[in-house]
Structure 1
Amino acid sequence: MPGNLQAAPADVTAALHDVAALGGFFVLRAGGGDTGWHPVGLSYARGFTDLAETVAHRHRAPEARIGVSIAHLGHVARLWSPALACVLLHGIVLDLSRLERADDGPALRMPHPAGLRVGAPPSPALALYGQVTAHLEALAQGLRVKVAPRLLDGNAASALVEAARALLAAHPELREPLTGLTTELLNTGRLVGTGEITGPDLTFRRRSCCLYYRAPNGSKCGDCCLAG
């Protein structure tokens, strides 16, 4: 992003601390000790097998791809949520290139907080898209269970819009820039054609299904193409 400057690590850490207060998927830890963490790329290379198997066991999924899809959806949410919030609330595009994952679960951290200050145009959408989808491409390449690529793209779109909806609920004053950025992202790269925003509160209908309904106690999600 020409014309933008590196954000000070202390500012990135403060931004991450602030957006974590939104809860759940917005938590991205900054710094701290190295014990208990590993480069997330190792998890991608291993096919995210540990998380997928844990999810499949929890939901008693009859097919391995269900666990993979649900684990993937949760991971995408942990990428989009803090990244989107930091852009809208603090004007920082996070540098997600050195993310680490907890050894015992799905939590993520930035061992060395970094990011770019968002200045004048161009829009941060391409930079934000690039940071997140670099992870999704690496994860998809490492999967050992066959999952339809467009299902994974749909997961990415669904997680993006859910992050935007949560951010909108907490900060309704951001409606215009948030809707604009979300719409721009949905019109970028692999997110094109994954679904459409259907209402002013960022309701969404995706064109694929995450397969959660196929688990014994699962159901169709609110944005599912199969929902009535």
Structure 2
Amino acid sequence: MHPDPDLSALGALGGFFVLRTGEPPHGSPPTLAAAYAVRDDRGARAGDGQDPVLLRARKVAETLRTPETRVAASVAHQGFVARLWSVALGAAVVYGRVPDLDPRLLRWDAEAGAPDDLWLTEVRMLPVGALGELVREGHLAPLAEAVRARFRLPDGLLRGNAGSALLGAARQLDRRSVADGRTEAGDRARALAAELLAHPALSGALDPVTLRRRSCCLYYRVPGGGVCGDCCFDRPPRRT
């Protein structure tokens, strides 16, 4: 049996790393497999009220007070991808294994805030070597397809979001490892992130020297927003 069946040690790393286990006590939100499978209006398998991807974007739009749905969708996408990378990378560093993040095992409350939005209904630990495929093929690809269909966001932006989110998770683990006096954990996180960023699915998303992204997440268009620390812009572009 896994020594931490509730994956409780991930919570000590920060809110983005939390992964609840078991069935949610407040109803039964859809699995991520179901969320990714919902079609947009042109393929209409479900109305807006049943579309978790649209619901998340609208929630973020309300929180950021932005009228631009595409901007909210990009910010929501980056935040959600950061959750997935953080859980997987954090588990690899803490446990030396990763939980099976099969979308059919993960329930997602699109209208809740982190860390209560993700629930893993069955804990099955896998070798660290499965990490990349679990996140890339299991989530990044179908999530990007769902976001593109609804909001017409370009591939480069979504790849930049994924690369930036991965690097952010690794940096948080590195900072935490220094604070805890366990720098070897930070070394593992950086090495894993470098390997994942070299994969063709993410290669080129970030500048290899500066580690700044080559696309913009559009956060500068949020009222009161600016450019992020790894933005491709030095200052917010002039809005037209």
TM-score when normalising by structure 1? 0.84
Letter in 1 for 2:198: N
Q: CA offset at residue 180 of structure 1?
A: 1.5
Letter in 1 for 2:200: G
Q: Which runs of 5+ in 1 are unaligned?
A: 1-7, 119-123
Letter in 2 for 1:180: A
Aligned length: 208
1:191 paired to 2:226: no
State how far apart, in whole Å, the 1-side matches of 2:219 and 2:16 are. Answer: 18
Aligned residue in 1 for 2:131: 128
1:29 paired to 2:32: no
Q: Does the 8 Å CA contact 2:106/2:121 hold for their aligned counterparts? A: yes
Letter in 2 for 1:162: G
Q: CA offset at residue 215 of structure 1?
A: 1.2
Q: Does the 8 Å CA contact 2:99/2:125 hold for their aligned counterparts? A: yes
State how far apart, in whole Å, the 1-side matches of 2:75 and 2:109 are. Answer: 18
Q: Which runs of 4+ in 1 moved over 4 A?
A: none
Letter in 1 for 2:32: V
Instruction: Please provide the CA RMSD for this pair.
Output: 2.0
State how far apart, in whole Å, the 2-side matches of 1:47 and 1:136 are. Answer: 16
Q: Does the 8 Å CA contact 1:100/1:110 hold for their aligned counterparts? A: yes
Aligned residue in 1 for 2:145: 141
Q: Secondary structure at 1:171's aligned position in 2?
A: helix
Letter in 1 for 2:212: R
After TM superposition, the structure 1 stretch with the greater mean CA deviation from structure 2, 155-164 or 104-113, is 104-113
State how far apart, in whole Å, the 2-side matches of 1:147 and 1:103 are. Answer: 19
Q: CA offset at residue 58 of structure 1?
A: 2.1
Q: CA offset at residue 197 of structure 1?
A: 5.7
State how far apart, in whole Å, the 1-side matches of 2:192 and 2:110 are. Answer: 33
State how far apart, in whole Å, the 1-side matches of 2:214 and 2:31 are. Answer: 32
Letter in 2 for 1:130: E
CA distance 1:13–1:198, shift in 2 (3 Å): farther
Q: CA offset at residue 140 of structure 1?
A: 1.8
Aligned residue in 1 for 2:232: 225
Identical positions, percent: 39
Q: Does the 8 Å CA contact 2:59/2:111 hold for their aligned counterparts? A: no
Q: Secondary structure at 1:217's aligned position in 2?
A: coil
Letter in 2 for 1:129: G
Q: 1:9-88 alignment to 2 at 5 Å?
A: 10-11=2-3, 13-14=5-6, 16-33=7-24, 35-44=27-36, 45=38, 46=51, 48-88=53-93
The structure with the largest strand share of the pair is 1
Letter in 1 for 2:133: G
CA distance 1:83–1:146, shift in 2 (3 Å): same
State how far apart, in whole Å, the 1-side matches of 2:77 and 2:19 are. Answer: 17
Letter in 1 for 2:190: T
Q: Secondary structure at 2:119's aligned position in 1?
A: strand
Q: Does the 8 Å CA contact 1:221/1:227 hold for their aligned counterparts? A: no
Q: Does the 8 Å CA contact 2:175/2:186 hold for their aligned counterparts? A: no
Aligned residue in 1 for 2:43: none
Letter in 2 for 1:113: V
